[in-house]
Chain A
Amino acid sequence: MTHASPATASADSVTRYRARRRHQRRLIAGLAVLTLGMCLADIATGPGQYPLQDILAALVAPGDVSQTLRVIVWEIRLPVALMAVLVGVSLASAGAEMQTILNNPLADPFTLGISSAASVGAALAITLGVSVIPLAQPLWVTGNAFLMALGASLFIWGISRLRGVSVQTLVLMGIAVMFFFNAMLGLMQYVASAEALQQLVFWSLGSLGKASWDKVGLIAAALLVTLPVFLHAGWRLTALRLGDMHAKAMGIDVARLRLRMLLCCSLLAAMAVAFVGTVGFVGLVGPHIARLLVGEDQRVFLPVSALSGALIMSLTSILSKTLVPGILLPIGILTALIGLPFFVSLILRSRREVWG
């Protein structure tokens, strides 16, 4: 945590606090600008090479550019770039809150098997045409993904409430959940038709390629619902980091808070999986960066986690298009390659019982 403060050590505590808050606000603004820049770079990157000013012109005044460029920017690249940002925000926010409520730095929708569960839900709709709850057909994939993600979250939540359950047990349980749902996914792949199989591969590798405006709208709506819930519970979530007993002493209904937050996390994870497939470790790395930069005060921890997640996803989107010229690499593979070293370093840190 960097409590960088331009104020002198002799300044009173309120002055030093205000200086730190100013620094944090500047950091958040800086990350937001960086994310915007990365998003623009993402839009400017693709098989067709266009000068940046043409891309900007297409964004600002679509009527003034060629129809081809307009279609490329507005129908293909912009939804993909926005989806990358929104999925990054969703996964990192969900990861940040899961780490908070489960008191576990290794928790994120991917490591705890929630993304795998959502994938199975999506696969049920694709291969078997099954909807777990009665919904309009276009929502089957999302609805199934949400319910399965919720089921997996509640299972993990139930396990976390048992006496004597350590951080390591919880992560191992998450791996067990992941194995179970991966086996279910394997089974569905085995029985799937060739067309359905192709779509299933999309879930397991993760791709921004099927982004569209309606999907962007849906995931933005999910964020509009969940982020205010997270922000409203900010102080209570920060209190939870002091331990359950301290939070209860402050009159916080810890069990209800955990359940409500898990519900929101499941929704975000399910949306991300339903639209771009399984994307691992963004929910782990985003909060990890935020913790190092600003600590765990939710007023800054959440926005910095979310923006870090957005930056990682935007960067991954650019890399997926540029690493191997002419080939669009699945983003799930790239986030795994970036995220795994973080995961290993966190396991080694938790071995020293940083969180216990």
Chain B
Amino acid sequence: MTLDVERLECRLGGTPVLEGIAGLTARAGEITALIGPNGAGKSTLLKAIAGIERATGSLRLNDHDLMALPFEKRAEHLYYMPQELSSRAVLSVFDVVLLARRTRIREPLEQALEQVRDTLVALELEPLAERELGRLSGGQRQRVAIAQAAIREPALLMLDEPTSALDLHHQLQVLDWLARFAHERQAIVVVALHDLSLAARFAQRMWMLANGRVAASGTPGEVLTHARLREVYAIDAHIEWPADEPPRVTPLTAIRPLGR
């Protein structure tokens, strides 16, 4: 099972945000990291795949031509997890995770409740089940959003910076869990990340965007090179690939202003 992106173009308010996005592939059972500096078009690419932003081009999820499906139908195959979950809704954690299940899968309520419990347990959220969203920390809310995403059992799961508000423990816990989710469900998982060390450690493939175009794609070893980090991120970085330890990308200096 694969996701293939070819010739994707997207304009927001008349301004081209994605241009000629092509040659991107993500496979089932793997984590694909979507990386690139701020404003590179990462969120827009994920929203365009989900059908939330209008785009032209070719998007294939296995035998499905996603472009032929309106976003309501695409939501049956995929899920896009936005960056932030509202803290203003007067709803409990259990309610919002149940909500994500009930808007996707028709099944007896009992079955749905069991699924919610299992998902909350897996993401260490069960003690918070009855707490309101407004009384959670940013990191806790982010894990609730991940629980919402997972419980819909999408074939393609896209997460927009799911670790941005998490402490180190929960960053590892969430990415470990996503790796297991991808492997056990044979789901395609695409994760937009800023931390290149984490991305290199957990992802089997990488898509690197810059200025709304594909700067590189391939394995982390192929994508993360000194020259490319200089070109795309405008930084000098120390990149290590130790044999028995996770890879490390340590930024050293910013070498020039970063902009379009």
CB of B132 closer than 8 Å to a CB of A? yes
The interface bits of chain A over 243-255 (1 if a CB of B lies within 8 angstroms of the residue's CB, else 0) are: 1011011111100
CB of B90 closer than 8 Å to a CB of A? yes
Contact B130 A238 (CB under 8 A): no
> In the complex, A295→B99 CA distance in Å?
14
Contact B91 A297 (CB under 8 A): yes
Chain A residues whose CB sits within 8 angstroms of the CB of B130 once the complex forms: 3, 5, 13, 16-17, 20
CB of B120 closer than 8 Å to a CB of A? yes
Number of residues from A at the complex interface, CB < 8 A? 33
Contact A250 B117 (CB under 8 A): no
Beyond A14-B114, A249-B52, A296-B91, whether A243 also contacts B72 by CB under 8 A is: no
Chain B residues whose CB sits within 8 angstroms of the CB of A246 once the complex forms: 82, 85-86, 145, 148
Name the residue among A9, A17, A356 with the largest chain B CB count within 10 angstroms: A17
8 Å CB interface, B60-104 against A: 71-76, 79-82, 84-86, 88-92, 94-96, 98-100, 102-104
Question: Interface majority SS on A: helix, strand, loop or mixed?
Answer: loop
CB of B239 closer than 8 Å to a CB of A? no
Chain A residues whose CB sits within 8 angstroms of the CB of B82 once the complex forms: 243, 245-246, 249
Nearest opposing residue in chain B for A248, CB measure: B52
CB of A327 closer than 8 Å to a CB of B? no
Chain A residues whose CB sits within 8 angstroms of the CB of B152 once the complex forms: 250
Q: Which residue of B50, B52, B99, B129 contacts A13 across the interface (Cβ within 8 Å)?
A: B129
Beyond A3-B130, A13-B129, A239-B99, whether A252 also contacts B72 by CB under 8 A is: yes
The interface bits of chain B over 112-151 (1 if a CB of A lies within 8 angstroms of the residue's CB, else 0) are: 0110110010000011011010000000000001001000
Chain A residues whose CB sits within 8 angstroms of the CB of B90 once the complex forms: 1, 241, 291, 295-296
CB of A355 closer than 8 Å to a CB of B? yes
8 Å CB interface, A281-314 against B: 291, 295-297
Name the residue among B84, B95, B113 with the largest chain A CB count within 10 angstroms: B95
Nearest opposing residue in chain B for A9, CB measure: B127
Contact A13 B116 (CB under 8 A): yes
Contact B52 A239 (CB under 8 A): no
| 16 pairs, A vs B, C-beta closer than 8 Å | A3-B130, A9-B127, A13-B126, A14-B113, A14-B117, A17-B98, A17-B116, A17-B129, A242-B86, A245-B52, A248-B52, A250-B75, A250-B152, A251-B72, A296-B89, A356-B88
Given contacts A13-B126, A242-B91, 15 further A-B contacts (CB under 8 A): A1-B90, A3-B132, A13-B94, A16-B129, A17-B113, A241-B90, A243-B85, A246-B148, A248-B50, A250-B100, A250-B152, A291-B90, A296-B89, A297-B95, A354-B88
